[in-house]
Structure 1
Amino acid sequence: MTGKHYKGQEVSCCIKYFIFGFNIIFWLLGVAFLGIGLWAWSEKGVLSNISSITDLGGFDPVWLFLVVGGVMFILGFAGCIGALRENTFLLKFFSVFLGIIFFLELTAGILAFVFKDWIKDQLNFFINNNIRAYRDDIDLQNLIDFTQEYWECCGAFGADDWNLNIYFNCTDSNPSREKCGVPFSCCTKDPAEDVINTQCGYDVRAKPDAEQKTYIHVKGCVPQFEKWLQDNLTVVAGIFIGIALLQIFGICLAQNLVSDIEAVRASCLFT
């Protein structure tokens, strides 16, 4: 009885400290993400005026840091404290929470494959909605510029999508100097230029379509993203499979530790 009891404790310790060490990284990363998100909101004055959260017409990238940081913090906390204190409630919560995330990811992947056209329409709506709010938030502006530069695209399906923005539209009533233009992130880059020309997109959409191609990327971000996804399908699939295996591994370890803890406690009652 004593040897079996000791062996059970030894197995629990190995798993326990592995889970603790693995999750403390996520816990600290979660704290860092939350800190960055709150700092960004503080810089933009959101924390002093909470109602301004809903004022932005587009997507606030800070939400990514807060949501991802919050999930990582909760998971890391439950995994660390649950393993260190041998708290079966926190370990079961960790397993269930991780299982729910895995299920949601799997469901989202299946739905994205089945409803590809609907996803494309929603992506088009999302990008155009953020084009309207381009100048409303510096973080959103930087996100759009990064996306257009990285995928060498302009607008959702083309440069004319920038007509949706009050500063870039081509209407006669638009007094903006950026009228009939596009952001600098749409421009084709000259490798010899060290300094970004932020005015390279001025008046470019007033030129003929054939001439526009020499100044800006004319392909939209939705088709460019589809092309990138097809070209990197193996890498993307590998990353998602790797994340899924890590989640399954984490669930199995936590459940194994719960079983060991309960077995040790049960053996103590009969010792």
Structure 2
Amino acid sequence: MFILGFAGCIGALRENTFLLKFFSVFLGIIFFLELTAGVLAFVFKDWIKDQLYFFINNNIRAYRDDIDLQNLIDFTQEYWQCCGAFGADDWNLNIYFNCTDSNASRERCGVPFSCCTKDPAEDVINTQCGYDARQKPEVDQQIVIYTKGCVPQFEKWLQDNLTIVAGIFIGIALLQVTGVPHAAVAAG
């Protein structure tokens, strides 16, 4: 991006036709790739959903292995008020949270604190709120933790904000499309 922006800026300042042609060609290629990615995302939305599910479950397995990954999962679950890829039981994939009898962890049959519903009256986060949460009946689980998965919550968020997301993409595309002809005319 730096090289592309540099070529456009210097090409316009110095009236260098080679740099302006370079700028317009690569801006056109980037626009075409973005358009292709958008069409493919729409056509293969089920495949993307499966990949998202696979990605989240792999990261659930490695939840305690990497602090950055742990923070990303916690942020995602808190922001979308979700737990796991398709539900709280996805945390059985993690060695600390699974519900097997051989698991001696205190977090057995639990979920991370980011799955817990927040009490507005509490200022301090209870990091142990998810302990034993999945041993309760589902009706009681809904009081303590989020039971919806992150994949359906992301789909819901995307549908609710589709106008905003589409507007941003159209705005970026218009900026790119208007930049290509001006650079091509100047390089002319």
When normalised by structure 1's length, the TM-score is 0.65
User: 1:163 Cα deviation (Å)?
Assistant: 1.1
Structure 2 distance, partners of 1:79, 1:245, is 17
Secondary structure of the residue aligned to 1:177 is: coil
Residue 180 of structure 1, aligned match among 81, 102, 109: 109
Matches within 5 A, 1:64-75: 72-75=1-4
Segments ≥4 residues shifted beyond 6 Å: none
Q: Does 1:149 align with 2:62?
A: no
Give the AA of the match of 2:19.
L
Q: Which residue of 28, 40, 51 maps to 1:122?
A: 51
Gaps of 5+ in 2: none
| Larger CA deviation: 234-243 vs 105-114 | 105-114
User: Superposition pairs for residues 83-122 of structure 1, below 5 Å?
Assistant: 83-122=12-51
Is 2:143 aligned against 1:201?
no
Deviations 1:72-93 (A, max 9, x none): 3233233233333433333322
Runs of 5+ consecutive residues of structure 1 not aligned to the other structure: 1-71, 260-271
- The answer as to 2:143 corresponding to 1:233 is no
Deviation at 1:138, TM superposition (A): 2.0
Q: Post-superposition shift, 1:182?
A: 1.1
Percent of matched pairs sharing the same residue: 86
Q: CA deviation at 1:250?
A: 1.9
Match of 1:140 among 64, 69, 77: 69
Task: Specify the code of the residue in structure 2 equivalent to 1:244.
Answer: A
- What is the letter of the counterpart of residue 101 of structure 1? I
Q: Which has the larger radius of gyration?
A: 1
Structure of higher RCO (CA pairs closer than 8 Å, 6+ residues apart): 2
Of 212, 218, 221, the match for 2:150: 221
Kindly provide the amino acid, as one letter, of the partner of residue 161 in structure 1.
D
Distance 2:83 2:74 in 1: 9
CA distance in 1, matches of 2:105, 2:25: 53
For the aligned residue pairs, the C-alpha RMSD in angstroms reads 1.6
1:120 is displaced (CA, Å) by 1.3
Change in CA separation of 1:128 and 1:246 when aligned onto 2, cut-off 3 Å: same
In 2: Cα distance, 1:95 partner to 1:140 partner: 38
Distance of 2:33 and 2:49 partners within structure 1:
20
Alignment of 1:30-109 (within 5 A): 72-109=1-38
Greater shift after overlay, 117-126 or 210-219? 117-126
**76-85 or 243-252: which moved more?**
76-85
The alignment covers a number of residue pairs equal to 188
Q: Secondary structure at the match of 1:214?
A: helix
Larger mean Cα displacement after TM superposition, 85-94 or 183-192: 85-94
